Amino acid sequence: MIKIKEAVIVEGKYDKIRLSNFIDGLIITTDGFGIFKDKEKQRLIKHLADTRGILILTDSDGAGFVIRNFLKGAVSSDKIKHAYIPDISGKEKRKDKPSKEGKLGVEGISDEIIMNAISRSGAECELCEEKERTDSEITKADLFELGLTGCPNAAENRDRLKKRLSLPENMTSNSMLDVLNFIMTKQELKEIMDREVCECSK
């Protein structure tokens, strides 16, 4: 596993699934060109860039560079690291035919090549045996205890928290949990919730 400080930005869900096998860190998808119109996700990426920095890892085809350049224009250059995969001809196993340019995307590249690209990017990373779990990690049980799931006011409480943290309103509970663990500790979340006075209705 590689533990990465920065949020890793990839194009699609298959890229995210692929990287989740060996990256301990937050992985955000642009949903392809969907990022161009998704103002909430743009704000999330900017927030993550300001908080921890971002690492862009898009495909090496023309579309990948269009997305990369869009993000470069949206976030301060000193908050971005870039990982580039080489041009390798081929097709992903799940696809019937190669991409328009005939190049493998992130999901089709070997672990070794991706890890080398990340190591050359300047991102803050280190090798670890497996995803680290600590006492400061926020769990689903914590979300329940804090009134963010499983109670009548949970949706309202989540919306209030997402607004305070500039997170997309349509973000799922699981995605929110990933982001919360990336930007704060359990204690920091509890302090925020105490200030917000978000409690389940008895």
> What are the beta bridge partners of residue 82?
56
Q: With H, G, I as helix, E, B as strand and everything else as coil, classify residue 1.
A: coil
Start-to-end CA distance of the chain, whole Å, equals 43
Cβ contact 123:3 at 8 Å: no
User: Distance between CA 177 and CA 85 in Å, rounded?
Assistant: 29
In the predicted structure, residue 116 carries a pLDDT above the cut 80: yes
Is the pLDDT at 134 greater than 80? The verdict is no
What is the residue-averaged pLDDT of the chain? 87
Distance of CA 33 to the CA centre of its chain: 16
pTM of the model: 0.75
Per-residue model confidence as pLDDT tens digits over 77-115: 999 999 999 999 888 888 888 788 889 999 999 989 999
**Structure token pair of residue 54:** 């971002």
